[in-house]
Chains A and B, each alone.
Chain A
Amino acid sequence: MIQELVFLVISLFVIAGAAGVVFAQRLFHAVLSLALCLLSVAAVYITLGAEFLAVIQVLVYAGGVVVLFLFAVMLTRSDLQLRREPLESFAPVSAVLFGVLVLFYIARTGFVPQGERALAPGDVASVGQVIFSPKAYALPFELVGILLLAAMVGAIYLARRDERW
């Protein structure tokens, strides 16, 4: 009972935050809404027993990525009020249809009960075991490192002001 209530409240925050991103009039508000959403997702992780992941979510997403977006907003001066243009493309419609389909599939599974949640260890040590063990995700871990390097170099190069370098 308590669990469900907690879940419901947290979900509401997630959804509200998401809605805010899409529908907020001013972009700045949208970014803040994003922050709210991401934090709520961290809460979700905690209810699932993934504490380590929740912390990463807060640090990287709610911390780094949101700041990144704030800079973007400021540098592109797109906080200016944009006139509400009518939605002419069928894009949103397809999103809605897609959503309907997804929900349909979920419903179709028949909600077979999975049994009690087996409490999986969510602490740093266990996660670390999985990430760094060579039989599991050690290689992808290294590759992600290289990816981050590439992304960093790319972003710096793209965004440079000076044509000299």
Chain B
Amino acid sequence: MVTVYHYVFLAAVLFIIGAYGMLSARNAVRVLMSIELMLNAANINLVAFSSYSGTVSGQALASFVIAVAAAEAGVGIAILLVLYRRMRSVNLREAVSMRW
């Protein structure tokens, strides 16, 4: 029998992979993709809890999350393009002008 914990576990693993990717990737696009992974993990949690409680609001919230995530990805890529025009590269290790 599948319990809610299965889904929670799955979401956790997905989140960890996303976090790892966000922190260690050099390419900015990869970072943004990792962020999407983390958001999806959160969504899985939302829907799982909502489903196992017999309510629907979790799904409603999840759809809002998807909307916001999409918006964020769009704006993020726009910023990325500006950065690319400046630096000719999207290697985040090179974008370090705001250091000590």
How far is it, in angstroms, between the C-alpha of A11 and the C-alpha of B77 when the chains are bound? 29
Q: Does A113 contact B (CB under 8 A)?
A: yes
Residues of A52-67 whose CB lies within 8 A of B: 52-53, 56-57, 60-61, 64-65
The B contact surface, by secondary structure, is helix
Question: Chain B nearest CB: distance from A152 CB in Å?
Answer: 7
Question: Chain A nearest CB: distance from B67 CB in Å?
Answer: 5
Contact with B along A35-49 (1 / 0, CB 8 A): 001100100110111
Give the chain A neighbours of B21 by CB distance below 8 A: 18, 21-22
Give the chain B neighbours of A82 by CB distance below 8 A: 26-27, 91
Give the chain B neighbours of A151 by CB distance below 8 A: 71-72, 74-75
The A contact surface, by secondary structure, is helix
How far is it, in angstroms, between the C-alpha of A64 and the C-alpha of B71 when the chains are bound? 11
Question: Chain B nearest CB: distance from A47 CB in Å?
Answer: 8
Contact with A along B54-75 (1 / 0, CB 8 A): 1111011111101111111111
A15 touches B14 (CB 8 A): yes
A159 touches B10 (CB 8 A): no
**Number of B residues contacting the other chain (C-beta, 8 Å)?**
74
B40 touches A155 (CB 8 A): no
**Number of A residues contacting the other chain (C-beta, 8 Å)?**
82
Contact with A along B7-31 (1 / 0, CB 8 A): 1111011111111111111111110
A78 touches B29 (CB 8 A): yes
User: Quick one: which of B52, B79, B91 contacts A114, CB cutoff 8 A?
Assistant: B52
B29 touches A72 (CB 8 A): yes
A159 touches B78 (CB 8 A): yes
B47 touches A30 (CB 8 A): no
Residues of A1-47 whose CB lies within 8 A of B: 3-4, 7, 11, 14-15, 18-19, 21-22, 27, 30-31, 34, 37-38, 41, 44-45, 47
A76 touches B90 (CB 8 A): yes
Give the chain A neighbours of B23 by CB distance below 8 A: 89, 91-92, 94-95
Q: What 15 new A-B contacts, CB under 8 Å, besides A103-B9, A106-B8, A148-B67?
A: A27-B27, A44-B10, A56-B66, A60-B67, A68-B77, A76-B90, A82-B27, A98-B16, A102-B15, A117-B2, A127-B59, A130-B56, A148-B71, A155-B78, A159-B78
